[in-house]
Amino acid sequence: MKDVLLTILRDRQSSTAEFRRASDQLAALVCAEALAKLPHSTVTVTTPLAPAEGLKPAGSVMFVPIIRAGLALLPAFLFAVPDAPVALVGMQRDEVTAQPGLYYQKFPADLPDRAIILDPMLATGGSSLLVVDLLQGIGYTPGNIYHAGVLASGEGLQRLSAGIPEANITVVAVDPGLDGRKFIFPGLGDYGDRYFGT
């Protein structure tokens, strides 16, 4: 299933609607895998049909989408954990240096136990590492910081795993490397542009 959805995302001919549909379905799968890495407790959930046993994250979790592409993953995570607070981090990539520039950050007053960074593309790792630094600055330890995305380059994955445990990183696929502009190769283009139709 993941391979089929990823193929749609990689296809240059996929329309915005097709890209969004595939992205939303893939986000639900990424969400399930990322949440499964958190410590869990068993809970009884009462549904209209019958009580059911399920798992929910032990302690609280905060989602940290990196604006703009990270917003594409957010609905799936909020559907799974509807009471989770959301911190927003806005970054703009300098197209010459490929370095992230922070222009916005907003964190909740009461910080949950764990944070999951949401960013579909882990290219150089610079944006996610900047968020890791922000989270550590407000008291998070590397072991309580997670990352959820769709694609990573080998280089980005290696850089991020120097900041948080590699076991805390969830991606669908790892592509061989980066092109001359520091975009994931072969990649799938600019995720935010394709998801938001810009």
**Residues labelled as active-site residues:** 93, 97, 190, 193
Closest listed residue to residue 174, CA positions, set 152, 155, 159: 152
Closest listed residue to residue 135, CA positions, set 78, 63, 74, 31: 63
Closest listed residue to residue 123, CA positions, set 167, 66, 76, 72: 66
Residue 75 bridge partners (DSSP) = none
SS3 category, 79: helix
Contacts of 66 (CB under 8 A, 6+ apart): 89, 90, 91, 117, 118, 119, 127, 128, 131
Contacts of 88 (CB under 8 A, 6+ apart): 64, 65, 67, 104, 105, 106
